[in-house]
């Protein structure tokens, strides 16, 4: 159709003529924003209440009112509504970005002083009031890795069940309870894992794998949910073509459905990993606290970045600032790990994404 291929200006004038009236110049939005900013700054400075946040808020408010008034006068009420809503939505997006940038800025600002080569290469064993966080980093990777190892096969198989095999009561029950599972408080998952292992191994037991089990309880519903969505999108005609050729069902799933959905599945797993990698509460009650490096999840306590950061904040000792620095540095490392995993997931997605015609 013409409207899609013509230039936006032509389309806009088409629209303008259809609702009656003229059309604002292309620089209208920027002019309004600039004017509103200037006005707000001037007024607040005069009132002696100038702050960046307040100015921004007033600018957006004034700009919305101004653009509506101006557009209504020139272009008519419908176009005016469109302009003001677009501005409002853009402002909402900006608002949502503020905490993100604030978080990343603050963590970076406070965490970088705590980073050092020592932080990454040595643990805290035998070092009074200091040391590195290698044991915490290795612990996080190990515990999260084992949790993924547990959750991903079970989660994907359950999603396959829901999309390919499930019928009737079991399916409905599973769908409902997966929803419920997303709301389990993280500390309850930890207490459950602790109670489970306590039955078999006695009280006071602390193992890396207990933390993995607790994290799996939190991770599985997310894996199932996203895997289910991705598997549902695989078109039926792909499957039907396979069956028509006489392929058995299991081969269809493993050779056709899963590879098609592979990219989406990886993204879903990454989402789940990102969710649980920073969990502190369940690990506090299951993995214990230790200074030394331990890479065996089945034997002995294991430190991890989240609990490490929490401990450094909670019990800083006399060198308070150094402990706080280490806590922020651990948080920064955690975020960095998640970002790396996210980027890797995106690359995998782009590489393996199959275009479905």
Partner 1 sequence: MSRFRWLAVLAFASVLALGVAACGSSSDETSSGGSSSSDLSGEIAGAGSTAQQAAQEAWIAEFENANSGVTLSYDPVGSGGGRDQFIAAGVAYAGSDAALSSEEGELEKATKRCGPGELIEIPNYVSPIAIVYNLPEVEGLQLSPETLAKIFSQEITTWNDKAIAADNPGVDLPDTRITPVNRSDESGTTENFTEYLSEVVPDVWSYEVSGDWPVKGGEAASGTSGVVEAVTAGEGAIGYADASQAGELEVAKVKVGKEFAEPTAEAAAKVLEESPLDKELSQGKYVLAYELDRETESQGTYPIVLTSYAIACTRYSSASEAETVKAYLEYVISPEGQKLAAEQAGSAPLSAALTKKVTPAVEAIEAG
Partner 2 sequence: MAQVDTTTNAGQLLAAASGGRRRPGDRIFSNTATAAAVTILALLAGVAIFLVAEGLPAVTAAASELPGGKSLLDYVAPLAFGTVLAATFAALIAVPLAVAVALFITHIAPPRIALTLGYLVDLLAAIPSIVYGLWGIFVLGPAAVPVMRWLEEHLGFIPIFEGPASVTGRTMFVAGLVLAVMILPIVSAVAREVFSQTPRKLQEGAQALGATRWEMIRMTVLPFGRSSVISGAMLGLGRALGETMAVTIILSVSGAVSFNLISQANPSTIAANIALNFPESSGIAINLLIATGLVLFAITLVTNMGARAIIARQNRG
**Which position among 137, 215, 234, 309 is part of the footprint of partner 2 (CB under 8 A)?**
309
Stretch that binds partner 1, among 64-72, 209-217, 242-250, 306-314 (CB under 8 A): 306-314
Exposure string of 176-192, with b = 16+ CB inside 10 Å and e = fewer, is eebeebeeeebbebbbb
Q: Which of 272, 247, 277, 299 is nearest to 141 (CA)?
A: 277
Q: Which of residues 237-276 bind partner 2 (CB under 8 A)?
A: 243-244, 246-251, 253-254, 271, 274-275
Q: 143: Cβ–Cβ under 8 A, 6 or more apart, which residues? A: 208, 211, 212, 215, 283, 287, 297, 302, 304
**Which position among 23, 64, 136, 217 is part of the footprint of partner 2 (CB under 8 A)?**
217
Quote the CA–CA distance of 154 and 137 in Å, as a whole number. 26
**Which position among 23, 83, 114, 206 is part of the footprint of partner 1 (CB under 8 A)?**
206
Of 23 and 147, which CB lies nearer to partner 1 in the complex structure?
A: 147
Rg (CA), the chain: 28
Q: Least distance (Å) from partner 1 to the CB of residue 312?
A: 10
Q: Which of residues 78-97 bind partner 2 (CB under 8 A)?
A: 78-79, 81-82, 85-86, 88-90, 92-93, 95-97
142: buried, middle or exposed (CB in 10 Å: 19+, 13-18, 0-12)? buried
Instruction: Kindly state whether residue 298 participates in binding partner 1, applying the rule CB under 8 A.
Output: no
Instruction: Kindly state whether residue 356 participates in binding partner 2, applying the rule CB under 8 A.
Output: no
Q: Least distance (Å) from partner 1 to the CB of residue 335?
A: 17
Instruction: Kindly state whether residue 191 participates in binding partner 2, applying the rule CB under 8 A.
Output: yes
Question: At residue 322, what are phi and psi to the nearest 5 degrees?
Answer: -65, -40
Instruction: Kindly state whether residue 296 participates in binding partner 1, applying the rule CB under 8 A.
Output: yes
250 interacts with, out of partner 1, partner 2, none, CB within 5 to 8 A per kind:
partner 2
Q: Which of 192, 180, 262 is nearest to 227 (CA)?
A: 262
Instruction: Kindly state whether residue 279 participates in binding partner 1, applying the rule CB under 8 A.
Output: no
Stretch that binds partner 1, among 26-34, 210-218, 272-280, 314-322 (CB under 8 A): 314-322
Instruction: Kindly state whether residue 117 participates in binding partner 1, applying the rule CB under 8 A.
Output: no
Here the contacts of 193-198 (C-beta below 8 Å, separation 24 or greater) are 193/217, 193/282, 193/286, 194/285, 194/286, 197/286
Stretch that binds partner 1, among 153-161, 242-250, 289-297, 331-339 (CB under 8 A): 289-297
Of 122 and 253, which CB lies nearer to partner 2 in the complex structure?
A: 253
Instruction: Kindly state whether residue 1 participates in binding partner 2, applying the rule CB under 8 A.
Output: yes
Quote the CA–CA distance of 267 and 65 in Å, as a whole number. 41
93 interacts with, out of partner 1, partner 2, none, CB within 5 to 8 A per kind:
partner 2
Contact 257, 231 (CB under 8 A): yes
Contact 323, 316 (CB under 8 A): yes
Total H helices, total E strands in the chain = 16, 0
Angular region, 131: left φ>0, alpha ψ -120 to 50, beta rest:
left
48 interacts with, out of partner 2, partner 1, none, CB within 5 to 8 A per kind:
none
Instruction: Kindly state whether residue 57 participates in binding partner 2, applying the rule CB under 8 A.
Output: no
């Amino acid at each position: 159709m013409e409207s899609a291929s013509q230039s936006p200006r032509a389309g806009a004038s088409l629209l303008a003529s259809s609702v009656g009236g003229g059309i604002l110049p292309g620089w209208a939005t920027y002019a309004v924003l600039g004017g509103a900013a200037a006005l707000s700054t001037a007024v607040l400075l005069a009132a002696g209440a100038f702050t960046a946040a307040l100015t921004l808020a007033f600018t957006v408010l004034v700009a919305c009112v101004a653009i509506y008034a101006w557009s209504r006068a020139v272009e008519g009420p419908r176009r005016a509504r469109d302009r003001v809503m677009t501005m409002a939505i853009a402002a909402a997006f900006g608002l949502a970005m503020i905490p993100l940038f604030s978080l990343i800025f603050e963590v970076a600002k406070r965490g970088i002083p705590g980073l050092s080569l020592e932080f990454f290469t040595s643990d805290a064993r035998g070092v009074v009031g200091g040391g590195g966080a290698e044991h915490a980093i290795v612990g996080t990777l190990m515990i999260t890795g084992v949790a993924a190892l547990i959750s991903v096969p079970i989660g994907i198989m359950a999603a396959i069940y829901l999309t390919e095999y499930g019928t009737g009561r079991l399916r409905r029950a599973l769908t409902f309870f997966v929803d419920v599972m997303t709301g389990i408080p993280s500390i309850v998952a930890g207490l459950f894992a602790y109670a489970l292992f306590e039955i078999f191994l006695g009280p006071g037991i602390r193992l890396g794998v207990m933390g993995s089990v607790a994290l799996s309880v939190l991770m599985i519903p997310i894996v199932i949910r996203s895997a289910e969505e991705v598997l549902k999108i695989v078109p039926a005609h792909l499957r039907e073509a396979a069956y028509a050729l006489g392929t058995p069902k299991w081969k269809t799933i493993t050779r056709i459905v899963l590879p098609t959905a592979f990219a989406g599945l990886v993204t879903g797993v990454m989402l789940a990993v990102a969710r649980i990698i920073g969990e502190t509460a369940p690990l506090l009650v299951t993995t214990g606290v230790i200074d030394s490096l331990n890479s065996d999840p089945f034997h002995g306590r294991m430190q991890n970045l989240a609990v490490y950061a929490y401990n450094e904040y909670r019990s800083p000792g006399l060198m308070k600032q150094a402990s706080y620095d280490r806590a922020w540095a651990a948080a920064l490392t955690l975020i960095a790990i998640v970002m790396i995993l996210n980027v890797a997931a995106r690359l995998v997605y782009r590489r393996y994404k199959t275009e479905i015609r």
